[in-house]
Structure 1
Amino acid sequence: MSFPWAQQYQPVNPFMRWMDEKLPLPRLVYNAIGGGYPVPRNLNYMWNFGVLAGFCLVLQIVTGIVLAMHYASNATVAFASTEHIMRDVNWGWMLRYAHANGASMFFAVIYLHIFRGFFYSSYKAPREMVWLLGVVIFLLMMATGFMGYVLPWGQMSFWGAKVITGLFGAIPVVGEPIQIWLLGGYAPDNAALNRFFSLHYLLPFVIAGAVILHIWALHLTGSSNPTGVEVKQESDTIPFHPYYTAKDGYGLGIFLLIYCALLFFGPNLLGHPDNYIEANPLSTPAHIVPEWYFWPFYAILRAFTVDLHIPFTSIVIIEAKLLGVLAMFSAILLWFFLPWLDKGPVRSGHYRPLFRKFFWFGLIPAMLVLFYCGGAPAEEPFVMLSQIATAYYFLHFLVVLPIVSMVEKPEPLPYSITEAVLGEDKAAVLGENAKPVGV
């Protein structure tokens, strides 16, 4: 989106002028986060999560690089090298806890970012590509997080790798060869550990590249906002700096307080005690559970307990395990189709009364149930609750959302972003002396 009133970068310092002519990095930074990038004036703190996610990514890359200097990706010594980092490396305990809890905080921020997108329909035109790249980033994060969970080579690491890679074995014909290819053998061992360590180190840089594309796509279309109304005039926007840099700084301060409280007072709160026991292929844990950020999809996987048969026969069409695998992957893949499933003309959930009810009293409770059941034992009543929540999850996106978008009557939208902020101030609302977009 082009804003004719956006300020152009004009360096004053001679050195900066020379730099801008030869390598326009100053102009790039200014246009990305400075006065050259106007943003809607009504963004609330729900729009802080993008900056927080970027901070988490940098934190993970920096701590991960340092940890990689001391880690040994060999099944014989991997667990010992992790303990060496904790006990012998200067500040190693803090680096490891910062990395492990940083992953949890990263996923927490991303989940909030995604559900913000659900409520405000950030996936709708013209921001489809921003949303699609965001889903790609989430999938890359899931892969990176899983491989990182394997590296300490504790009991949960080993058995988590065995269970998750074993899911590929459920795919007919090609499943077992894919599983062997992933592991480099028939069970998690040196080959698997080396592969996972290599990919775990590489993927954050791939994520960083996807984030750059995500931000680029965002700058082409402009940010969404809580009203869902597009920018119409100069008074609808303010420069990103200093207004939103200050606002993001405040949000980052709150985030760091929570993160540091977790890091220094409850570093193992989100971990599993069995992962402090060295991996033993001959001793299966009583309850195999992944990290908390995988729980909703793990619950969907375990919700399928019955094979799909041809009616009135014993012929199996799809085994329960394969149904669970397909559903688990589909639970994320269907997000790619949201821009076309939700056909409503209004974006913001604030002006969609029926959508709002299904969101707060349908989707959110279903996700909370899936989070809880994913970390619970695979027994009743958790399996039944998972099945109910899984059914609603898919119904919400595939049935409820398309129907609601066609039948609901939205509430009246404000004329402009400025009207939503300033109300009845007619001069400001109509943008006196302001230029409309395209003039």
Structure 2
Amino acid sequence: MSFPWARHYEPKNPVMKWVDERLPLPRFVYNAIGAGYPVPRNLNYFWNFGILAGLSLVIQIVTGIVLAMHFHSSAAGAFDSVNGTIMRDVNAGWFLRFAHANGASMFFVVVYIHIFRGLHYGSYKAPREMVWLLGVVIFLLMMATAFMGYVLPWGQMSFWGAQVITGFFSAIPVVGDWIRIWLLGGYAPDDATLNRFFSLHYLLPFVIAGVIILHIWALHIPGSNNPTGVEVKGEQDTVPFHPYYTAKDGFGVGIFLILFSTLIFFYPDYLGHPDNYIPANPLSTPAHIVPEWYFWPFYAILRAFTADFILPAKLWGVLAMFGSILLLFFLPWLDRSPVRSANYRPMYRVAFWVLVADVLILGWCGGSPAEPLYVIISQIAAAYYFAHFLIIVPIISRIETPRPLPNSITEAVLGDEGGSRITATAATA
């Protein structure tokens, strides 16, 4: 979408003018995040989480590069390099290690809120389907990167997490065992596994950065969605990104850094597992093998299948786990309602909050032991998760009667005054 009322970059300084004529990077920055990029005037603080996700990725890349300089990717040296060399011998190594480990958790917190904001305000609907699809790709890459990173400290939970999760691939008929051997580089996690996971864990964040560039590029074509879901109708509906939203994002970044610093300095191990401070021992299985907290909802879905039905239960679990994420790719076409925002869709809003509760229940079950009570709750919650996307949302989109939408973003912000202003502007034009 072109914005005819957007400001255009005209450098005044001779040096900047010379640079811009030969490499239009200043113009690109100005048009992407400066006063040359108009955005809806009614964006709330849930729109801060895009920039927070970018900041989280930068933190992970910077701390990860420094940590990689001191990491020893072998079964004999990985645990000591993380818990010995980095924590005790590297200047500020403890800070880098905790910032990287807790930064992953903060990254997922930000992205989960970002995803649910998109679900609530219908940011996956036309013409922003590509923005949503690229976002789901980023989420998948994040999960792969985080899983490989969790294996690298080579503690008990790292080793057995790799053993159990890769073991589920063996449930795939014909090629399952071959895939597992290919992933591990052998028949069990060892040096080859660490080398493969370390290499990919280092590479994938840069792939994520590339997809994020495409994500932002795709966003700038139709422009940002907004809490009303009403498209921009003119200059009166927008404000320049800078200084209005750079200031708002700056406030969000400040709150994020305060929470992040609190986690690093006061609760650095709160989100970790104590068994991961025990060196990996292939002969001693932990009583309760569990992945990192941000995988718990999907781990609960994986464990929800306990009986063979046509296919083995383990294969059903693997298919359901991947299917729970792949469903998000089809959401723009499953939800056929012309109204985007849940603020104007009373039935969808109730279903949305039930989904939020359902995902939290799945997370609770995924982090709990595989006991009958938690398995039964996981089965019910997993069934609802798939029903939400495949049955409830399509039905609601057909039978729901939405509330009346405002005529414009300005009217939604300013009320009758905004509507009068639009009418006066139109009359003058």
TM-score in terms of structure 2 length: 0.98
Query: Is 1:31 matched up with 2:31?
Result: yes
Distance in 2, matches of 1:434 and 1:71, equals 68
Please give the secondary structure, in 2, of the residue aligned with 1:10: coil
Which residue of the partner structure matches residue 273 of structure 1? Answer: 274
1:151 counterpart = 2:152: yes
Does 2:370 match 1:378?
Answer: yes
Other structure's SS at 1:101 match: helix
1:235 partner amino acid: Q
Per the alignment, residue 413 of structure 2 pairs with: 421
* Distance in 1 of aligned mates of 2:335 and 2:323: 17
Which amino acid counterpart does residue 137 of structure 1 have in structure 2? Answer: I
Q: Which runs of 4+ in 1 moved over 3 A?
A: 433-436
Q: CA deviation at 1:429?
A: 3.5
Q: Is the 8 A contact 1:234 1:431 kept in 2?
A: no
Partner of 1:205: 206
State the Cα deviation string for residues 383-421 of structure 1 (Å, max 9, x = none): 111011000000000000000000000000000000000
SS at match of 2:416: coil
Question: SS of the counterpart of 2:401?
Answer: coil
The residue aligned with 1:69 is: 69
| Residue aligned with 2:228, SS | coil
Determine if the alignment matches structure 1 residue 93 to structure 2 residue 94: yes
Q: Which runs of 5+ in 1 are unaligned?
A: 309-316
Corresponding residue SS for 1:39:
strand
2:385 aligned residue (381, 393, 400): 393
Query: SS at the partner of 1:73?
Result: coil
Write out per-residue CA displacement over residues 253-272 of structure 1, whole angstroms, 9 at most, x where no aligned residue: 11111111111000000000
Instruction: In structure 2, list runs of 5 or more residues that go unmatched.
Output: none
Q: Give 1:434 deviation, angstroms.
A: 10
Contact 1:234 1:435 in 2 (8 A): no
Alpha carbon RMSD of aligned pairs, Å?
A: 1.1
1:7 aligned onto 2:7: yes
- Tell me the distance in 2 between the aligned counterparts of 1:430 and 1:322: 61
* Corresponding position: 1:103 with 2:109: no
> Quick check: which one's helix share is greater?
2
Contact 1:101 1:267 in 2 (8 A): yes
Alignment of 1:219-368 (within 5 A): 219-308=220-309, 317-360=310-353, 362-368=354-360
Measured in 2, the distance between the counterparts of 1:278 and 1:344 equals 53
1:165 aligns with 2:158: no
Query: C-alpha distance in 2, partners of 1:429/1:318?
Result: 61
3-state SS of paired residue (1:318): coil
Which residue identity does 1:76 align to in structure 2? A
Q: What's the offset of the Cα at 1:161?
A: 0.4
Residue 432 (str. 1) matches residue 425 (str. 2): yes
SS at match of 2:323: helix
CA distance in 2: counterparts of 1:229 and 1:32, whole angstroms = 22
Residues 85-118 of structure 1, C-alpha deviations (whole Å, 9 max, x = no match): 0111110000000000000000000000000011
The reply to whether residue 193 of structure 1 matches residue 185 of structure 2 is no
Matched to 2:62, the amino acid is V
Whole-angstrom CA distance in 1 between matches of 2:306 and 2:428 = 61
Q: Write the distance in 2 (CA, Å) between the matches of 1:17 and 1:336.
A: 43
User: Does the 8 Å CA contact 1:235/1:431 hold for their aligned counterparts?
Assistant: no
Residues 187-226 of structure 1: CA distance to partner in whole angstroms, max 9, x if unpaired?
A: 0000010000000000000000000000000001100000
Q: Is the 8 A contact 1:233 1:431 kept in 2?
A: no
Counterparts of 2:198 and 2:423 in 1: how far apart (Å)?
57
Write the distance in 2 (CA, Å) between the matches of 1:267 and 1:430: 56
Q: Distance in 2 between matches of 1:372 and 1:218?
A: 34
Is the 8 Å Cα contact of residues 422 and 429 (structure 1) preserved in structure 2?
no
Q: Per-residue deviation at 1:186?
A: 0.2
SS of the aligned residue for 2:338 comes to coil
Deviation, structure 1 residue 431: 6.6
Give me the whole-angstrom Cα distance separating, in 2, the residues matched to 1:416 and 1:36. 22
- Cα distance, 1:435–1:335 mapped onto 2, change above 3 Å: farther
Q: Is the 8 A contact 1:233 1:434 kept in 2?
A: no
1:156 Cα shift?
A: 0.4
Alignment partners' CA distance in 2, 1:263 and 1:127: 36
Q: Deviations over 1:42-68 (max 9, x none)?
A: 000010000000000000000000000
Tell me how many residue pairs correspond in the alignment.
427
TM-score normalised by length of structure 1: 0.96
Aligned in 2, Cα 1:238/1:433: closer, same or farther, shift over 3 Å?
farther
The separation in 1 between residues aligned to 2:191 and 2:295, in whole angstroms, is: 25
Secondary structure in 2 matching 1:432 = helix
Give the CA deviation at 1:357: 1.1
Q: Deviations over 1:234-254 (max 9, x none)?
A: 100000000000000001111
